[in-house]
Amino acid sequence: MQARLREIWASLSRGQRVLMGLALLVSILAVVQGMHRASKGRNALIKWGPVFEAVERGEPIYGVGEEGYPTPPITLMGMAPFHALGPQLGALAWAIAHVLLAWWILLRCFRMAAGRARDVPWGQQALVLLLCTRILHSEVQHANINLWVAACVTLGAWHWGQGRPLRSGLALGLGAGLKVTPALAAIFYLRQKSARALSGMAAGLGLALVTPIAWLGPTRTLAMTRSWADQMLLPYLQGRDLALRQTEHINQSLLGLLGRLFADSVAIPAGKTWPTVDVSITLWALDPGTFRMLHLTAAVAVIAFLWWACARPRSTDLRPLRALGWFGLVGLSMLLLSERSWKHHHVVLPLAGTFVATLAWGAPGLRLAAGYRRFARAALFVAIVLILGSGEGVLGKHGADWAEAWGAYTWATMVLTVAVGLGLQALDRTARGPQPEPT
């Protein structure tokens, strides 16, 4: 093992070694800061401690309090072993697991882009890290389940790129069992006419839904799953009236941005210091029915773009790179179409960021039109500026709240969505080869 590690280290360029050293330092810092947050009870594993206790007492956890526990029972089952370790050791193990997931996602994306992670030029790696490090670092501290969802999407992309559609669907089905939005991958599988992937997705989702039976029993698992659906799915599908949770500045979904701009809503709620009164940025307050139509139109446009960009390719060339773009686009669509997309949900950005960086600066044997490459570079630059430039370290607390209110992350997601979609089309025009066989 040591000889293998020395061999890998020797094969890295100086720039890659510097990046790896910085990434290790950031990883250690994230764990330390995560433990600090845990000691103050500001860690998701600690935050949901009362939920574990309620489950043990047989009490409801959905539809209670302000809203209730937000994800299906399997997520609690996944966190249970870490919770059992206690607040300190459990939080440490949870943080380390998140760091390892973040590294795995990044390295797997680099492998899909170039065959081996170290074959991605250090400049492209640096741009991807600039785009994603703040988000990954923050998610390790907050210790939610978003990195697990992103890992499922990344694993699905990897298996698709390796020609394993059944496993790809299984991974996305498991992801949809953790949070609903990975189910958008079904649009891609339908577009690719892959019955095996759709079957795998159904199996993965079913597995995620029934696994808690081993912990809770069948009757209670079914009851809790229904309660979760009543709390999280039905109100959104039925077009419930917007509340602060949908329009607050931290929500970077399409619904959040449109709600702040085109509904009588609160963008930045009053606090103890600033602001002392609720802040609104409404440009035009539409009536509820008109607003729902606006949001529905925007959602349909995103789905239509996903369908268009995920057309079956003309050749089997560059399949892993295409998979990186396709599932990167699925991840971006997840962010836009979710009822609520907090900053930490953007941990799926490594897929789209790596794809755009690869096309913008080229890869061995890849020749794209100069016009698209210039656009891809500009799109990546804009996304990095919007995400990094909207932080408290740059704008301060007040400025960061304003930047989020005006949808800094949402606009970055939309810019990357266009760049990935056009990149997939440009890639298809460039690569030539035999028609792919049905999967």
**Cβ atoms within 10 Å of 10's Cβ, excluding its own:** 8
What pLDDT, on the 0 to 100 scale, is given for residue 124? 93
Residue that wins the pLDDT comparison between 300 and 426: 300
CA distance 382 to 418: 12
Asked if pLDDT for residue 39 goes beyond 80, the answer is yes
Look up residue 297 and give its two tokens: 């139109």
Report the pLDDT value the prediction gives residue 151, as an integer from 0 to 100: 98
Residue from 321, 399, 341, 327 nearest 114 by CA: 321
Give the separation between CA 417 and CA 335, rounded to whole angstroms: 10
Q: Does pLDDT of 434 surpass 70?
A: no
The pLDDT of residue 431 is 58
pLDDT tens-digit map of 88-99: 899 999 999 999
Check if the beta carbon of residue 342 is closer than 8 Å to that of residue 142.
no
CA 2 vs CA 6, 290, 419: distances in Å: 6, 63, 41
pLDDT digits (tens, 9 = 90+) for 7-28: 777 777 888 888 889 999 999 9
Whole-number percent of the chain with pLDDT over 70: 96
pLDDT averaged over every residue in the chain: 90
Q: Which amino acid is at 384?
A: I
Structure tokens at 353: 């960021």
DSSP state at residue 279: B
